Chains A and B, each alone.
Chain A
Amino acid sequence: GQQLNQSPQSMFIQEGEDVSMNCTSSSIFNTWLWYKQDPGEGPVLLIALYKAGELTSNGRLTAQFGITRKDSFLNISASIPSDVGIYFCAGQWAGANSKLTFGKGITLSVRP
């Protein structure tokens, strides 16, 4: 079946630094989504990407839909302590009843 690869499992950065996370797939997707999950809460949608090559920003976050449709990346600039959490990528096929395939997530820690 489809799998999304996110690595490393954990990242540790200094407050103020930029960080980039990649997500790769063995299959193509029509939609890429990035979510953030705080402890004990449900994931919150950060950015949705709908077209190959699309580059979208949401404040300090920037995400891109890879040209091959098999990858996506998320950049966080000038990190702050509240950026701490688990970041999930998810891919979706059009017409698949909107089912998503999730990566295993990257846990981000920000040192003040």
Chain B
Amino acid sequence: SQTIHQWPATLVQPVGSPLSLECTVEGTSNPNLYWYRQAAGRGLQLLFYSVGIGQISSEVPQNLSASRPQDRQFILSSKKLLLSDSGFYLCACTKGTSGTRTDTQYFGPGTRLTVL
């Protein structure tokens, strides 16, 4: 079964500083990958998804960007953080196309970002 790693687990950054969050996936190939943000006490908002290397779709206008340099690596970045970027960032993946159920999304442990 697939395993999703996210790094770092927590991060405190000043306003205006850059950001790089990493998500790596093990145990599957050619997965769809997703970045979500969860504000405190709120639901999950889809930020980006990727169906393959170098292919990124943005769901909402924002201060963030995403990249997929390798099949099982998904990066969330920002050049200048805003206070409103604070939140819990979750990476998710679907099983690769070799699976019979390709639709189910599985989540990583998340990164808690606090922008001060």
**Complex Cα spacing A99 to B105, Å:** 9
A-B pair number, CB within 8 angstroms: 53
- CB-CB < 8 A to A61: which residues of B? none
Known: A40-B110, A98-B32. A45 touches B43 (CB 8 A): no
Known: A98-B94, A102-B43. A92 touches B103 (CB 8 A): yes
- CB-CB < 8 A to A103: which residues of B? 43
- CB-CB < 8 A to A40: which residues of B? 88, 110, 112
With contacts A42-B109, A98-B94, A98-B103 known, what are 20 further pairs, Cβ within 8 A?
A31-B104, A35-B107, A41-B109, A42-B107, A42-B110, A43-B90, A43-B107, A45-B106, A48-B101, A48-B103, A97-B32, A97-B49, A97-B57, A98-B32, A98-B102, A99-B49, A100-B105, A102-B43, A102-B44, A104-B43
The 6 sampled A-B contact pairs (Cβ below 8 Å) are: A33-B104, A41-B109, A42-B107, A42-B108, A92-B103, A99-B49
